[in-house]
Chains A and B, each alone.
Chain A
Amino acid sequence: GEDVEQSLFLSVREGDSSVINCTYTDSSSTYLYWYKQEPGAGLQLLTYIFSNMDMKQDQRLTVLLNKKDKHLSLRIADTQTGDSAIYFCAETLSNTGTASKLTFGTGTRLQVTL
């Protein structure tokens, strides 16, 4: 079955690192994504990782994937107030090799305080 879970809320101080966690249950996931949603705006893709990778770094963002534990995390270094948003992890089960639907987590609200 498909089930993606996230903690609901995270508060960090500006300049600290943020770590947002996600667990999923379907081991056939091929790609895992992190999306950012700011108030009143659509979803913005931040980064993604292919399931045969353990880690991916993109500027301030680091994604870690533990396939054995079905655990995905997003680390944001030097968190800024502009990073305040809801972060969704998502997985796609593109076993057929074609475009496929995304299954989203419940979202983690990141609050950055001064």
Chain B
Amino acid sequence: GAGVSQSPSNKVTEKGKDVELRCDPISGHTALYWYRQRLGQGLEFLIYFQGNSAPDKSGLPSDRFSAERTGESVSTLTIQRTQQEDSAVYLCASSLRVRATTRSNEQFFGPGTRLTVL
């Protein structure tokens, strides 16, 4: 596709339920990132995938959060037993793998999934 797409665009769920968010990166982009943006705040890094390397999970806030990526394509972010504090916009971004010393690693963002936990 022309850009990063995410689905669903909006998700309302009840506390304690599991949710799955999907991200389709730009074709050919080997790096994929998930961020979370709480209301009125900046973006928090969650997890990062780069090719076949082990993902960087250092930003996941708890073991209720997990993510998978199939090859260099779709990624899903799963939140188990959702809590009200999980309510946020979840943004996905993708980028080419480039040497950052010679070229900026521009990340292209999707429109996000707005998650509301009641």
Residues of chain A whose beta carbon lies under 8 Å from any beta carbon of chain B: 4, 30-31, 33, 35, 40-45, 48, 50, 88, 90, 92, 94, 97-107
Contacts and interface: CB of A to CB of B under 8 A. Distances in A.
Contacts of B91: 42-43
Interface of B: 4, 30-31, 33, 35, 41-45, 48, 50, 56, 59, 91, 93, 95-101, 104-112
Contacts, number: 75
A88 B41 CA distance: 10
Contact of A48 (B33, B96, B99, B104): B104
A88 B42 contact: yes
Name B's interface SS. loop
Nearest to A33: B104
A92 B43 contact: no
Nearest to B50: A99
A61 to B, nearest CB: 15
